[in-house]
Copies of this chain bind each other. A is one copy, B any other.
Amino acid sequence: MSDDPLVLFMPSGKRGRFPKGTPILEAARELGVYVESVCGGRGICGRCQIEVADGRFAKHGITSSAEHVSPFGAKEQRYAEKRELKPGRRLSCSAMVEGDLVVDIPQDVQINAQVVRKADDGRVIERNPAVQLCYVEVDEPDMHKPLGDLDRLKEALERDWGWADLMVDHHLLAKVQSILRQGQWKVTAVIHKDMETSRPSLIALYPGLHNEAWAIACDIGSTTIAMHLVSLLSGATIASSGVSNPQIRFGEDLMSRVSYVMMNPDGREAMTKAVRDALNELITKVCDEAGIDRNDIYDLTFVGNPIMHHLFLGIDPTELGGAPFALAVSGAVHTWASELDLVINPGARVYVLPCIAGHVGADAAAVTLTEGPHRQDERMLIVDVGTNAEIVLGNRDRLLAASSPTGPAFEGAEISCGQRAAPGAIERVRIDPQTLEPRVRVLGIELWSDEEGFTEAAETLGVTGICGSGIIEVVAEMFLAGIISADGVIDGSLAAKSDRIVANGRTWSYVLWRGDQQLVITQNDVRAIQLAKAALYAGIRLLMDKLDIETVDTIRFAGAFGSFIDPKYAMVLGLIPDCDLDKVSAVGNAAGTGAKMAVLNRDHRREIEATVREIEKIETALESRFQEHFVNAMALPNKAEPFPKLAAQVKLPAVKELAEAEAGNGGRRRRRRGR
């Protein structure tokens, strides 16, 4: 065993022994720890800052001390004078190993003072970006060796940085001479390298030291576009913003947008332009917020459902409107930002994550990348509820995906008093099983309806309808209070006990709200929820069949809908299979996080590409058992299966006999609207 000092890097935990005098940056490189360095160890960029921990790390058997590093060198002195080096910080290109060390790689190495970071979700994504800044000093022209200016630049990039056989973006040909002269033969090259089998490209060039490199990660939802601006040099998210998808003016849901394309000769172009314009505006917004130059954006990743994916890329989505739901392209797309009319650095590249299937898009792939069922042994169910629910189920051994035609009921459509989640919408409901009286919470009012001040607030705001999460809760609470039976029928006999139960033709309704506007849950509303949840559950159950499992270990609700619904009520209604409630969680915009992972680390791109190739795609419409599961799942929570874990956590009503599900419901036409 060598006597060389032991160096441990945190947070990665990578360790190795290095001879005294080894620059810490070199040690990091040898261990594959990603420490940024734009200037290549010249001590001028300040990107390679590290901190040395002080103390005894018993677990690792290391006693680390700032004394175990070489004293402040000339490069660090000069840097500290010119810029600023916080106490405890060292430049790892200058600081050399002199004894055992624990080295922290700070995540905040930002030169900009105006760093915003407010939008960071705190997740640490290990960096291995496709973009690298490389400062070089280029030989001056020599008549004895008349290599072109660009050729000598390439020579320097190979000599100092090991970039052999670089491709060069065409737009740089006309600029390279003036940039080299402006920088007096000192320039910063921006290199993009993604696919391992492709050649790295020189995509931008700056005179002197250029210390800025940004990327965009973006989730194009059919309702909302969410964008994150992240630093390729530190990994930090410094601005996030969202905007309504302007394609809404062509059609609220996905199918109506496909119809618009089919009906209008310029429909595809108009919608492509609308989304790209919105992206350019969002880029302006995040750049303004962060105070950065949009020309310093070099790499972008996008996710979205298949129709958003196609319209963004300029592809006619008509084929996605009917069987066999053929994607134009399912694999990851690599292209230029300029091909997509994005106004940023002309050399910037775009990576679009792969789609899983015609109904399961790059957004579902991104959620999978974020939550990582393929990285673990536990069987995870991921559900992203929209007009179609996207379902991913499995673990590292086997992963399946499908979509189920839930219809728009969960989004408040097809519900008599349903509405979008907006101020004035009822979002939470509790029903007293004795009195059958409801308590509600309304979006925009931070009080329950039986709390002081609510009535006044409600009168001011106006209570206008019930949103998706409210629908789930009211139907589940009606079931728990015995107002509806397991087969979903509202019990008219309770009208004798409560004036909330009222006749409505030959069926009964439940009066949820009495105000300017009376909000009533009808028998048809309950049926709509039953149909939607049966479709979702049948899809999930189908995947469980394929895996031959009866329960799942964890459940993740992705997307906006998932963020608002209470897992307990989702399970009471039987949207999702039986599971420990504390293993069910909402993961918010996991698709956006997946886009961020892909932009910061190209290993994640290869990871999701390989994962998507391996995922087994199940087409629910072609599976004979889907119909059977659908019929069973009409019941609350489900006719055919017990929910023992749920029953242990929630007092379920005694199961009554379930009426047969209406004929014809199982064969509903597939509808789409997305998240």
- What is A's interface to B at a CB cutoff of 8 Å? 141-151, 154, 165, 167-168, 170, 173-174, 176-178, 195, 197-199, 313-316, 319, 323-331, 333-336, 339, 355-358, 617, 619, 621-622
Q: Are A316 and B617 in contact (CB under 8 A)?
A: no
Q: Are A143 and B622 in contact (CB under 8 A)?
A: yes
Q: Are B325 and A146 in contact (CB under 8 A)?
A: yes
- The listed residue with most B CB atoms (<10 A of its CB), out of A356, A619, A622, is A619
Residues in B whose Cβ lies below 8 Å from that of A356 = 146
CA distance A167 to B329 in the complex (A): 13
CA distance A334 to B173 in the complex (A): 11
**Could you list 5 further interchain pairs (A-B, Cβ under 8 angstroms) beyond the known A142-B324, A143-B621?**
A146-B324, A146-B325, A146-B326, A146-B327, A177-B315
Q: Are A143 and B315 in contact (CB under 8 A)?
A: no
Q: How far is the CB of A287 from chain B (nearest CB, A)?
A: 25
Least CB separation from A328: chain B residue:
B177
Q: How far is the CB of A193 from chain B (nearest CB, A)?
A: 13
Q: Are B148 and A326 in contact (CB under 8 A)?
A: yes
Q: Are A331 and B148 in contact (CB under 8 A)?
A: yes
Q: Are B148 and A330 in contact (CB under 8 A)?
A: yes
Q: How far is the CB of A154 from chain B (nearest CB, A)?
A: 8
Residues in B whose Cβ lies below 8 Å from that of A144 = 617, 619, 622
Known: A314-B174, A315-B173. A329 touches B617 (CB 8 A): no
CA distance A323 to B168 in the complex (A): 26
Residues in B whose Cβ lies below 8 Å from that of A197 = 165, 199
Q: Are A331 and B177 in contact (CB under 8 A)?
A: no
Q: How far is the CB of A195 from chain B (nearest CB, A)?
A: 7
A-B pairs with the 10 shortest C-beta distances? A148-B330, A146-B357, A148-B327, A141-B326, A150-B329, A141-B324, A148-B329, A143-B619, A170-B339, A143-B324
- The listed residue with most B CB atoms (<10 A of its CB), out of A151, A323, A622, is A151
Residues in B whose Cβ lies below 8 Å from that of A149 = 319, 326-329
Known: A151-B331, A199-B195. A174 touches B323 (CB 8 A): no
Q: Are B176 and A328 in contact (CB under 8 A)?
A: yes
- The listed residue with most B CB atoms (<10 A of its CB), out of A150, A199, A326, A336, is A326
Least CB separation from A165: chain B residue:
B197
- The listed residue with most B CB atoms (<10 A of its CB), out of A173, A314, A335, A621, is A173
Q: Are B619 and A328 in contact (CB under 8 A)?
A: no
Q: How far is the CB of A606 from chain B (nearest CB, A)?
A: 13
* 14 A-B pairs in the complex with CB atoms less than 8 angstroms apart: A141-B326, A146-B330, A146-B356, A147-B330, A148-B327, A148-B328, A148-B331, A149-B327, A151-B327, A151-B331, A170-B339, A173-B329, A174-B314, A195-B199
Residues in B whose Cβ lies below 8 Å from that of A335 = 170, 173
Q: How far is the CB of A341 from chain B (nearest CB, A)?
A: 12
Q: How far is the CB of A265 from chain B (nearest CB, A)?
A: 14
Residues in B whose Cβ lies below 8 Å from that of A326 = 141, 146, 148-149, 177
Q: Are A173 and B617 in contact (CB under 8 A)?
A: no
Least CB separation from A164: chain B residue:
B197
Residues in B whose Cβ lies below 8 Å from that of A146 = 324-327, 330, 356-358, 617, 619
Q: How far is the CB of A658 from chain B (nearest CB, A)?
A: 32
Residues in B whose Cβ lies below 8 Å from that of A173 = 313-315, 328-329, 333, 335
Q: Are B313 and A167 in contact (CB under 8 A)?
A: no
Q: How far is the CB of A478 from chain B (nearest CB, A)?
A: 38
Least CB separation from A338: chain B residue:
B170
Q: How far is the CB of A192 from chain B (nearest CB, A)?
A: 14
Residues in B whose Cβ lies below 8 Å from that of A141 = 319, 324-326
Residues in B whose Cβ lies below 8 Å from that of A147 = 327, 330
Residues in B whose Cβ lies below 8 Å from that of A177 = 315-316, 319, 326, 328
Residues in B whose Cβ lies below 8 Å from that of A330 = 146-148, 150-151
Residues in B whose Cβ lies below 8 Å from that of A333 = 173
CA distance A326 to B328 in the complex (A): 47
Q: Are B331 and A143 in contact (CB under 8 A)?
A: no
CA distance A622 to B142 in the complex (A): 11
Q: How far is the CB of A587 from chain B (nearest CB, A)?
A: 25
Residues in B whose Cβ lies below 8 Å from that of A325 = 141, 143, 146
Residues in B whose Cβ lies below 8 Å from that of A199 = 195, 197-198
- The listed residue with most B CB atoms (<10 A of its CB), out of A144, A148, A314, A339, is A148
- The listed residue with most B CB atoms (<10 A of its CB), out of A315, A336, A619, is A315
Least CB separation from A319: chain B residue:
B177
Least CB separation from A315: chain B residue:
B174
Q: How far is the CB of A347 from chain B (nearest CB, A)?
A: 13
Least CB separation from A145: chain B residue:
B617
Q: How far is the CB of A445 from chain B (nearest CB, A)?
A: 45
Q: How far is the CB of A355 from chain B (nearest CB, A)?
A: 7
Least CB separation from A153: chain B residue:
B329
CA distance A144 to B146 in the complex (A): 59
Q: How far is the CB of A580 from chain B (nearest CB, A)?
A: 33
